[in-house]
Structure 1
Amino acid sequence: MELDSPALRHAVQSLASHALPAFGVALVAVIAAVCGLWWLGLRYGVHRETSRFAPLAYLLAYLALGFALIIGAASLFAEIAENLGDGRKLGQLDLLFSDTVRATVPLSALRVFALLTHFGDTLTLTGLCVAGVLALLWQRRYGLCIGWVLAFVGNALLNRMLKSIFERTRPVHDHGLAFADGWSFPSGHASGSVVAYGMLAYLLVRLLPARWSAAHLPLVALAAALAFTIGSSRVFLQVHFASDVLAGFASGTAWLAVCIGALELARYRRRTA
């Protein structure tokens, strides 16, 4: 379907006019997907003593899965970036979606999103990074500490570089609930939240005592839900277009996969050294 087709424009406008229910459905879908992947990992991917496969085989499988995730996320980002220059057709759909959201979403809902969006602010994520560094240094987890810092810093540099390449202006809004400057594409809140809360969930799952294993899935699901909500809040508050947030999710997911894959590879090498 062409990006400028009347049917697609009608679908985008209809989705935007029901943005809050659509967000709820999407959030449930994200949590369900996380739970499904977690179950598959426990059922087929977690190494057990009785397994006939060596630990190296599991590591290679995890790295292959991470590589596939990187390719998929990068492909999504590239597709969005390519269509931004396609006669501005994607930009027109973005503008239609943003204008419809502004006209249909009540101010009370925007106030809630204005509070939630602060969980992805630079100041918040910087504080989280510093707190993580202090905690990991206190536990003498120096390798994890380096990986933790590189995840935050690397994503920030990547996002800044991408913004400077595309130089997309932000949508116009007048509700006064959120302010943002700089370029719009991709969303730093979306990518930063995926990386920050994804890394936090990874570290908690890896470091929490075994008796707390029942909390692993809720932690991962909560991290995914929080990152998705923060990214979505940027669209509701009209400080980003929808494609900015999708691209931010894609770039953040790719970088998160790189960071976790590198930490798992280093962990395996230490065990076999």
Structure 2
Amino acid sequence: MNSRVMALRDSKVEIVSRLHAQMEQLQVIQQHLPPEKRCPLPAVPVLMPEEMPERKHRYTRATLERYATLRDKMTSTGLEEQQDGQNILELLEQEVQDTHTKAQDTQIENEGEETHSQKQEEKLTELEKEMREAEEIRNLCQQDQLFKQMEEAVWRFDAELRVLRHEKLELDVYMKLADLRHVTLFEELLLLKEFEKREDILQERLTTYIQEEEEIRAKMHDCKKQMELKKRDILRLQGKEKTIAATFQASLGENNKFEEFLTRVFKKKIKRTKKKETHGRE
């Protein structure tokens, strides 16, 4: 965008230079036209100081000499202490403007003298009048053509300026939206970091729960093994019990008068007392 702005500025410099040249051509042409057929000269665009900031620090030898002259003059009048170098530069700029104004006034006076001389022209023959009319028509065509070229150049520059201004506004909007998007992404990043902390805490809890589940599953597996062993022991003991009962019935024989008493004693449950462990003195 900056390069396009600089290119448009350079284009304006070129257009202004071309307009000045065309203005000089118009002035030359209008010198050969009667006053009533002269179109008003258009205003030539000027370059603002902010459009050419690099010219602020340009100087020539004549500028330096004039600066030294003004400084010596201020020193001789005792104004050096009251005014600094900036005021001297302002005086130089004012002199340049005055010179330009005087040049324009001189040009206007010359045009007035030429108009007066045309009024005092002598009578011409028919052939000279026809030649004068043909020249006048040619000058009018050239005048109209120059006006049209100048208007078209200014119109084209204004159109390019409007297009560039519109694109600049679109770019500003795009940059603002990009800034907002950047802020949104930054806020989302902060939220993601906060969620990441929570996720780490939840992940630690999940890992702990998984470990506890694995420990419980291992304990359940051990318990199942122990239950199977207990079942086997129970089946084995039940088998022994049946064997012992069969052996007891066989040992009783048939028609044993003590069968009922012995059977009751055989089935009686016995409570076994645990022996107390005695600890020796050290």
Whether the TM-score (by the shorter chain) exceeds 0.5 is no
Q: Could you say which TM-score interval applies, normalised by the shorter chain?
A: under 0.3
TM-score, with structure 1 as normaliser: 0.23
Larger Rg: 2
